Amino acid sequence: MISKVLKTLATGILVAVLAFGQAAIAGNAETAAGPSLYERLGGWDSINQIVRDTITLHVENDEISHYFEGVDLDQLAGHVTAFFAAGTGGPSKYEGRDMTSTHAHMNMSDADFDSAVADVLKAVEKNGIGEAEQAEVAAILESLRPAVMGTATDAT
C-alpha cells in the first residue's frame, strides 16, 4: 500500500501542492472542490493520533531514532500536530519555528528524510486514511524536503 502511494506521489505532487497553496492563500478550510485535507483526515483529534503514531514509529526506527533522544515527545507532538493541522487547511495557525531552523542542527540525509516520510505514511495508513489523502500527505511532505534538508532557497 505504501509503495503504491509513493508511486502516485510523482503525479499527485503538483495537484496537492497547488491545492494546499490555494487553501492557504484563500485562508479558509474548504476549497471549491470540497472539504479540506484537514477535514478529510478527521480533524484535530485524528491528526494528533497520526502524529503520535508517527513519533512512536520514529522512536522505534533504528535509522532515525537518534534524532529523538532527549526530546520531550509530548511537546514535539503538540508542535507537529499544530503544524500538520495548519498545513492541511485546519482552522489553527502554526506559530512555531520554520522547518529550516527546526531541522538545521540535524544534518539529515535524504535516506533519513525518506525513512521519516515512510513512518508518517505508515501512521496515516494505520489510522484508516484513504489512498487519495495519503498521496496528498506524501506530496506535502515531499514539498517540505528542501526546507527540512536546508536546501531551500530564500526568495527574499
Residue 121 forms part of a structural domain: yes
Phi and psi torsions of 89, nearest 5°: 95, 15
Q: What is the pLDDT of residue 132?
A: 97
Q: What is the pLDDT of residue 105?
A: 87
Residue 56's domain comprises 2-27+36-149
- What is the Cα–Cα distance from 99 to 34, expressed in whole angstroms? 28
> pLDDT tens across 8-35, in order?
333 233 333 333 444 443 444 444 579 9
Q: What is the pLDDT of residue 127?
A: 98
> Which CATH number fits the domain that encloses residue 57?
1.10.490.10
| Residues sharing a CB contact under 8 Å with residue 40, sequence separation 6 or more, in sequence order | 129, 130, 133
Residue 40 forms part of a structural domain: yes
Give 10-residue mean pLDDT values along the chain (156 residues): 39 35 42 85 98 98 97 96 96 88 90 97 98 97 94 62
Residue 61 forms part of a structural domain: yes
Asked if 9 and 135 count as a contact pair (C-beta separation under 8 A), the reply is: yes
Q: What is the pLDDT of residue 32?
A: 59
Q: What is the pLDDT of residue 113?
A: 97
Residue 99 forms part of a structural domain: yes
Total domain count, the chain:
1
Q: What is the pLDDT of residue 13?
A: 35
